[in-house]
Structure 1
Amino acid sequence: MHRTHALLSALLAASLLVAVPGSGAAVETDYTLRVDTTRTGPSIDDSMYGVFFEDINRAADGGLYAELVQNRSFEYDPADNAGYTGLTSWAPHSGTVDVADDDARLNERNRRYLKLGLPAGVINSGYNSGIAVTKGQHYDFSVWARADRTARLTATVTDPAGTPLGDPVRVDVRGDGWTRYTGTIRAKRSTTTGRLLVTGDGTGTLRLDMVSLLPRDTFKGHGLRRDLAEKIAALKPGFVRFPGGCLVNTGSHHGYDAPDYERRRSYQWKDTIGPVEQRATNWNFWGYNQSYGLGYFEYFQFAEDIGAMPLPVVPALVTGCGQNRATDDPALLRRHIQDTLDLVEFANGPADSTWGRKRAEMGHPEPFKLTHLAVGNEENLPDEFFARFTEFRAAINAKYPDIVVVSNSGPDDAGGTFDRLWQLNRQAGVQMVDEHYYNSPSWFLENNDRYDSYDRNGPKVFLGEYASQDNTFFNALSEAAFMTGLERNADVVKLASYAPLLANEDYVQWRPDMIWFNNHASWGSASYEVQKLFMTNVGDHVVPSTATATPSTRTPITGAIGLSTWATAASYDDVTVTGASGETLFSDDFSGGDSRWTKSGRGTWNVVNGAYVQSDAAAEDTLVTAGDRSWQNYTLNVKATKQSGREGFLVAFGVQDTGNHYWWNLGGWNNTQSAVEKAAGGGKSTLISDGTRVDTGRTYDVRIEVRGRHVALFLDGRKWGEFTDDRVAEPFRQVVTRDTATGELVVKVVNAQGSPARTRVELGVPVSASARATVLQGLPDDVNTEFTQPIRPSTGQVRVASTFTHTFPPHSVTFLRIRSRS
């Protein structure tokens, strides 16, 4: 099959309701786009589109923070990651090398150091394949050291064989008190596999800490990796949300607070400022350590450097991101509220205030002009979160009434938590609510009108995290189609940021991501190119417009059945499928084995005592399937029992394959809720959900009735819920804005289908004869990589008029900047 149509065919095979063109790959679909230039739509704030930075995928250390030495202070610990030791990324070169933690330490927050019995040496391998250096560039070396006898310290960059790649730094370490020593290495050869070799000559003991190698050429001289920072700056973001997401509000085995020297302290902004050698090194929710060399001061400074509004997120003392715990300690809550007030003072206070002085001492006497601050992220306990949020908001507004305090609506685009939090936010008159969702491309094509019905007088929306669940061009096209709806509703959606921002290709915890990199190169994904096109062509206000729709094909939900588990052992029995007229399509009581079921290869499935058992409580997505993919209008019955594990069980229907199906997820998300999810092209979206949990050892009667595109679900004979999946995955979307500075109409059209879209454009006003066109076009499964970027903008001139016809290419995003003559 030609890959231009592969994804569209997969969507059709999954029984989705999809808008489709006429037959034939080259068929042009006729559309009409009418622009009402006599009216003015919502204004679009300069800050509407921004970026969300979280230290995930090694986005900070080994990424945006330009430090080239990994584990520079020897604080890596197996309590943080089972594979860590104090010498992770280090290797002895010679002599006696030990990591020590005793009274000779640098300070209480930097407890461990390297102890060398001279003569001795160590090698650091950096991140990725090694330390990357470029011929002719300068690299600043520094180290904190002490010696019981004078020692000669030498540092140089070598290749893996030990050959020096630049002139070494040589310093004499004198005295047994901690002193910072510095020098510069100029690279004589380029490499991506370099090593930092540090040796000590002499006798006695040499102690080292905070071993650092930073390129001198950083973004605006502020310590950030230039190519990554420049790619972010090129987006011209209106805001920077930092420092996370899940990184911020998840607790630890110490809870939310611990002495400074304890491991796994929760993320607290005060740990991240001041001299870098006095900042904590801490466990990261995403499985590695963070040095805090990139801290709150650097985040504020970076936002200022790129002309963006800073938008920090502070913990609400209620966990999210799949965890469910609320801290009930009034004193701790008061302390965190005070820390947040101190944060505002750090950002905005005069240089002679307590925390403004600390900012000034770090080199920035002028305020950072903080206007927005978010409390919490993706909390799963809505009432507990909102009670604490209310206390934060009251304290902040009492002292700083001009600060917009941002709340949130949980981790999903719908469901019980979402509905409850929106109810609480509306009742309390919250100014702005942060929504998050990661869904399939079809969801984004189906939900362009999501914000059309939002209350214009209610809280404004901050879409703080969203993405289609892959990095192909088709994912980016679906996001572009959705973004036209964001702009059309700019009076409700005031801020929006794709997430996550950065991913080191060798340390990936999450995908998709906007910008990818390794130790020497970086490249924007297809989604980056879409975001950049929208973010640099926003306009000042919407110009009302309408477009005709693509003819749609309405087919029933069609597919086989399936059983699955996720981090849970469960058993199933008495599976029956009956047709709408009562005829038996399938029946299995597992008295004859499991030969009628197709396994995915995940999990351990066996017939045990007349039931079908998945016994691996750690395995995920263990889907097994049976039946006919052409089934429609049927009823599925099954008995399900959880045996052990974190979650419940999953019963699938409308199954075409492992990436295209529906399933009823009972006891999902660590057994905190239940939902029906739709998988399309491998990405999932939630259709309905509630707080149903699953008891271990209890047998549940599950019944699913599929009628056309309507589904009713019954648990132990009682209706649990129902839905009609009748949204259209419309591939042709548009929005028009006006750039008042240039006098241009910006016509933005997304054609996410495999056929050209011949379109009659009616502007209704005299315009210049030609317009500048910027186009992103490619095959739907195109992916940008380090070595090839098939998705890049092309620009040119096109003929236009008050009314004209333009054919928008298949699988494309087109922006026309048309100068009005009226």
Structure 2
Amino acid sequence: MPRKHVLLSAALAASLLVAVPGSGTAADTDYTLKVDATKKGAPIDDTMYGVFFEDINRAADGGLHAELVQNRSFEYDPVDNASYTGLTSWAPHSGTLDVVDDSGRLNERNRRHLKLGLPAGVINSGYNSGIAVRSGQRYDFSVWARTDQVSTPLTAAITDPAGTPLGDPVKIDVRGDGWTRYTGTVRAKTSSTTGRLLVTGGGTGTLRLDMVSLMPQDTFKGHGLRRDLAEKIAALKPGFVRFPGGCIVNTGSHHGYEAPNYERRRSFQWKDTIGPVEQRATNWNFWGYNQSYGLGYYEYFQFAEDIGAMPLPVVPALVTGCGQNRATDDPALLQRHVQDTLDLIEFANGPADSTWGRKRAEMGHPEPFGLTHLGVGNEENLPDEFFARFTEFRKAINARYPDITVVSNSGPDDTGATFDRLWQLNRQAGVKMVDEHYYNSPSWFLENNNRYDSYDRNGPKVFLGEYASLDNKFFNALSEASFMTGLERNADVVKLASYAPLLANEDYVQWRPDMIWFNNHASWGSASYEMQKLFMTNVGDHVVPSTASATPSTREPITGAIGLSTWATAATYDDVNVTDAAGRSLFSDDFSAGDTRWTKSGRGAWNVVNGAYVQSDAAAEDTLVTAGDRTWRDYTLNVKATKQSGREGFLVAFGVKDTGNYYWWNLGGWNNTQSAVEKAVGGGKSVLVSDGTRIDTGRTYDVRVEVRGRHVALYLDGQKWGEFTDDEVAEPFRQVVTRDLTTGELIVKVVNAQDNAARTRVDLGVPVSSTARATVLQGRPDDVNTEFAQPIRARHEQVGVASSFTHTFPPNSVTFLRIRSRS
């Protein structure tokens, strides 16, 4: 854990050399920071920062939803995941048992149940390594059961893996052949992270079970959410909660959006998720597992209310996104979804005697939830098709609920043809707010602090609904912090922002990075969580204008080797030639002598076939092979490329330093819907230029890349496809200043994302108190918070300040100074 540094007085700080253990002594770089504290910049809404919740990485079942039994209603199915059966997470203990789907089902949408030939027993292992219980805590057991006997004894016990009880069992007398809910409570006498739930039935005959549940009594505000996770989210003091996703919102299957309520592989539809839990649907999850909807729309609204946040639901637009490209062209179906959305608003805001307000009241909340914003769609790749359907939603919502802000979106990336077209359509239609999503490398975030400086102040406002730097190291959090200073500076345009995703169960990861990590017994915030918390709990009421000097830097030309790759595609390459700017040959390979000059990554099946270089595995991803010299500069690369089969096209790399740092021209990417140049830094990619070029199977393309300095021109079959100049500077020193009107404090927020300390002359221009409260996050760039060590934690100190003073901001740090003005 990094050694703590004492923040000294201004006089001493001016001459301080700050050292980081293991990195030697860092040099100082001199900066100036001028604050115009007499002026007022953009106001910052209380809802500026929020959280994005999606059921990804087992964020709901096995996560925020406190239910401890996995597959509690025996509905797991191979359509959810190829490895699933109705008994996934269950194991026989004794007797005979079978998962059945017959006329004796609990209800139409809860079709399967467990049939036991008595005497018999069954064991559930929960999530992760088992069911976690704590000594002294109480756990509520419940089950729906029926028997063909007059009476059947049922016992429920929490045990260790060897079968030793961890508390006194629950004993129940099941009576009669009608479904009845039975309950009991277990008090754990021993703590365990590997517990099991053992359910046994005695006597003879047949016992049927469904909706087997074990819930801790100690949940967040008694509302069924796992306390430690909910408390970590609440500690962020989020202004809004966006739910339920994400890609799960608008991705269906071959059933599309027409699937009946009891079928699977359908889009997330809110009416499936309310009412008694035993009557709710279960559904295939886009991320590869089953979702029980035990955490549904009512619970989302309630959670937002419990933490003082604005609810922001997102509904499907009937156009798929997240790499899929399909639109539903059924007017009746569209109108049903539009009506469902109107019903959702009534469920949230309607009086208790309205149709859907009554359902909310019956669930225990007669007062409205106060919905003000609602999103339609998520990351659609078909901009015109999406916007036509979005317009129908918007028109209907505005007619009945004119005070609701209907949020549109700009597709799945920060730039490109889809992004440009959607922004054009949103501007032309006068849409109030547009949801942007992007995940990029740390360098992109350091280079794009001014992204929103040039946005139209009179156009649609921005909801930055998903963003993150592509890793969970402290340097990623530093780059995000740098970008967030730009978000705050542009708070008149960027009205809402949420890091994504929010939660990740360490044993069920479909995506990283993530803000909060957990297992069945512990949770911990990532470095980005600590950074988000720092910003979200120190926002301020308005921006105070400020300027800072830049870091001296030089831009070296693009240098690096060359590479070839594929992604879920088989392709052939031939006649690779590299020449310098004068036309002299640097490298030439027609593969007549094999592939000994190429370095393989180990992915894919690369072989020389008939004098060409073939990658034949159409399922392999990121199969990069490289050749040449990493010091090459100012060169031209020519290659012939042919797609043989698969979902995408082919990739030609240049400026290759190593497997995590390069540029590549991705032709026919994103399921062959667009082409783009991507820049990879530290393994994280960002798009520099793109268009809608698709690649034909079996056609040979002449690919040419001309690298000159930091300018690159790209040619396809002799025609210029595009060009770019990679001249953005990854500025490590950024700042923003805001004012807290309640406390009368200036909040000076400084990011120093470099190994050098930043000795800074700060000029506030107004009289201030002599001391300020400092909150600092500091560490090594590669530091990662884990269950067992959290090197990135905020520290709080007092620091000397004045109207004009010098302060040394430590290397690789973010510092917030709360300075009380005396004027």
Q: 2-side partners of 1:265 and 1:486: how far apart?
A: 36
Q: State the AA in 2 paired with 1:122.
A: V
Aligned to 1:27: 27
CA distance in 2: counterparts of 1:489 and 1:427, whole angstroms: 22
In the alignment, what sits opposite 1:737? 738
Aligned 1:107-126 pairs, distance under 5 A: 107-126=107-126
**Other-structure match for 1:310:** 311
CA distance in 2 between partners of 1:431 and 1:260 (Å): 33
**2:83 pairs with 1:66:** no
Query: Structure 1: how far apart are the matches of 2:307 and 2:403?
Result: 23
1:769 and 1:663 mapped to 2: Cα distance? 53
Per the alignment, residue 654 of structure 2 pairs with 653
Distance in 2 of aligned mates of 1:646 and 1:734: 44
Structure 1 residue 263: deviation in Å?
2.2
CA distance in 2, matches of 1:681, 1:171: 58
SS of match in other structure, 1:451: helix
The residue type paired with residue 614 of structure 1 is Q
User: 1:554 Cα deviation (Å)?
Assistant: 1.3
Structure 1 unmatched ranges of 5 or more: 3-22
1:280-299 maps to which residues of 2 (within 5 A)?
280-299=281-300
2:47 aligns with: 47
Indicate the residue corresponding to 2:105 in structure 1: 105
Asked whether 1:476 is paired with 2:468, we answer no
Q: Distance in 1 between matches of 2:34 and 2:201?
A: 75
- In structure 2, the residue matched to 1:514 is 515
Aligned mates of 2:262, 2:237 — CA distance in 1:
39
State how 1:265-280 maps to structure 2 within 5 Å.
265-280=266-281
Deviations 1:337-383 (A, max 9, x none): 00000000000000000000000000000000000000000000000
Q: Please say if residues 257 and 266 of structure 1, whose CA atoms lie closer than 8 Å, have aligned partners that are also in contact.
A: no
1:747 corresponds to 2:727: no
- Quick one: distance in 2 between partners of 1:747 and 1:405? 34
Letter in 2 for 1:437: Y
Residue in 2 that maps onto 1:83: 83
AA matched with 1:27: A
Which whole-Å CA distance do the structure 2 matches of 1:611 and 1:325 have between them?
Answer: 36
Q: Which amino acid aligns with 1:436?
A: H
> How many Å separate the matches in 2 of 1:90 and 1:612?
49
Tell me, in whole angstroms, the C-alpha distance in 2 between the residues paired with 1:197 and 1:540: 54
Equivalent residue number for residue 265 of structure 2: 264
Q: CA deviation at 1:24?
A: 8.8
SS state at 2:713 partner: strand
The separation in 2 between residues aligned to 1:91 and 1:116, in whole angstroms, is: 13
Report what 1:140 is aligned to: 140
Task: Give the match for residue 366 of structure 2.
Answer: 365
Q: Is the Cα–Cα contact under 8 Å of residues 705 and 711 in structure 1 kept in the other structure? A: yes
| Deviation of 1:257 (Å) | 1.8
Amino acid at match of 2:519: N
Q: Residue 203 of structure 2 aligns with which residue?
A: 202
Match of 1:347 in 2: 348
Q: Any idea what the Cα deviations from partners look like across 1:98-137, whole Å, max 9, x if unmatched?
A: 0010001000000000000000000000000000000000
Residues 17-60 of structure 1 show CA distances to partners (whole Å, capped at 9, x for unaligned) of xxxxxx99521000000000121000000000000000000000
Once residues 483 and 261 of structure 2 are traced to their aligned partners in structure 1, the CA distance between those partners, rounded to angstroms, is 45
1: CA distance, partners of 2:424 / 2:238: 31
The superposition leaves residues 309-348 of structure 1 with CA deviations (integer Å, 9 ceiling, x where unpaired) of 0000000000000000000000000000000000000000
Q: Deviations over 1:637-671 (max 9, x none)?
A: 00000000000000000000010000000000000
Alignment RMSD, CA only? Answer: 0.9
Q: 1:214-240: per-residue Cα shift (whole Å, max 9, x none)? A: 000000000000000000000000000
- In the alignment, which residue of structure 2 is the partner of 1:543? 544
Aligned partner of residue 249 in structure 2, secondary structure: helix
2:82 aligned counterpart, secondary structure = coil
Kept in 2, the 8 Å contact 1:37–1:765? The answer is yes
Alignment deviations for residues 404-461 of structure 1 (CA, whole Å, 9 cap, x no partner): 0000000000000000000000000000000000000000000000000000000000
Distance in 2 of aligned mates of 1:255 and 1:769? 64
Matches within 5 A, 1:450-469: 450-469=451-470
8 A Cα contact 1:442 1:680, kept in partner: yes
Residue 212 of structure 1 aligns to a residue whose secondary structure is strand
Q: Is there any run of 5+ residues in structure 2 with no aligned partner, and where?
A: 3-22
CA distance in 1: counterparts of 2:259 and 2:310, whole angstroms: 32
**Shift, 1:584, TM fit:** 0.5
Q: Aligned partners of 2:564, 2:24: CA distance in 1, in Å?
A: 37
Please give the alpha-carbon distance, in whole angstroms, between the structure 1 residues aligned to 2:685 and 2:455: 24
AA in 2 matched with 1:654: G
- Distance in 1 separating the partners of 2:314 and 2:575: 49
Question: Residues 499 and 514 of structure 1 are in contact (CA less than 8 Å); yes or no, is this contact kept in structure 2?
Answer: yes
Q: Distance in 2 between matches of 1:722 and 1:279?
A: 52
Q: Secondary structure at the match of 1:277?
A: helix
Does the Cα contact within 8 Å between 2:263 and 2:283 map onto a contact in 1? no
| Counterpart residue number, 1:709 | 710
TM-score, normalisation: structure 1: 0.97
CA distance in 1, matches of 2:258, 2:350: 26
Structure 2 counterpart of 1:815, one-letter code? F
Per-residue deviation, 1:251: 1.4
Deviations 1:383-421 (A, max 9, x none): 000000000000000000000000000000000000000
Distance 1:718 1:25, change over 3 A: farther
In the TM superposition, what is the alpha-carbon distance from 1:779 to its structure 2 partner? 0.1
What amino acid maps onto 1:457 in structure 2?
N
The equivalent of 1:446 in structure 2 is 447
Amino acid at match of 1:527: S
Judge conservation of contact 1:566–1:621 (CA < 8 Å) in 2: yes
Aligned to 1:623: 624
CA contact (8 A) 2:251 2:266 kept: no
Aligned residue in 2 for 1:94: 94
Q: Using the TM superposition, give the Cα deviation of residue 264 of structure 1 relative to its aligned residue in structure 2, in angstroms.
A: 1.6
1:227 and 2:202 equivalent?
no
Q: Which residue of 2 aligns with 1:20?
A: none
Conserved 8 A contact 2:473-2:784: yes
Name the SS for the 1:475 alignment partner: helix
> Take 1:475 and 1:732, find their aligned partners in 2: how far apart are those partners?
15
Aligned mates of 1:675, 1:104 — CA distance in 2: 55
Q: For 1:387-406, what aligned pairs fall within 5 Å after superposition?
A: 387-406=388-407
1:433–1:459 Cα contact (<8 Å) kept: yes
Q: Which amino acid aligns with 2:399?
A: A
Q: Which amino acid aligns with 1:377?
A: N
Q: CA deviation at 1:576?
A: 0.2
Aligned equivalents of 2:535, 2:549: Cα separation in 1: 22
Helix, strand or coil: the match of 1:246?
coil
Report how many aligned residue pairs link the two structures.
801
- Bigger CA drift: 496-505 or 252-261? 252-261
Letter in 1 for 2:118: L
Q: What is the distance in 2 between the residues matched to 1:320 and 1:169? A: 47
SS in 2 for 1:456: coil
C-alpha separation in 1, matches of 2:95 and 2:711? 73
State whether residues 50 and 498 of structure 2, in contact with CA within 8 Å, keep that contact through their aligned partners in structure 1.
Answer: yes
Report the AA paired with residue 55 of structure 2. Answer: D
Aligned match of 2:796? 795
In 1, Cα distance between equivalents of 2:132 and 2:148: 34
- Map Cα deviations across residues 136-165 of structure 1 (whole Å, 9 max, x no partner): 000000000000101000001000000000
Match of 1:8 in 2: none
Partner-residue secondary structure (3-state), 1:406: strand
**Contact kept in structure 2, 1:108 and 1:260, CA below 8 Å:** no
Output one character per residue of 1:59-116: Cα deviation in whole Å (capped at 9) or x when no partner: 0000000000000000000122110000000000000110010001000000000000
Percent identity over the alignment? Answer: 88
C-alpha contact (below 8 Å) 1:25/1:754 kept by paired residues: no
Closer/same/farther in 2, CA of residues 152 and 740 from structure 1, 3 Å limit = same
Cα distance between partner residues in 1 of 2:79 and 2:247: 19
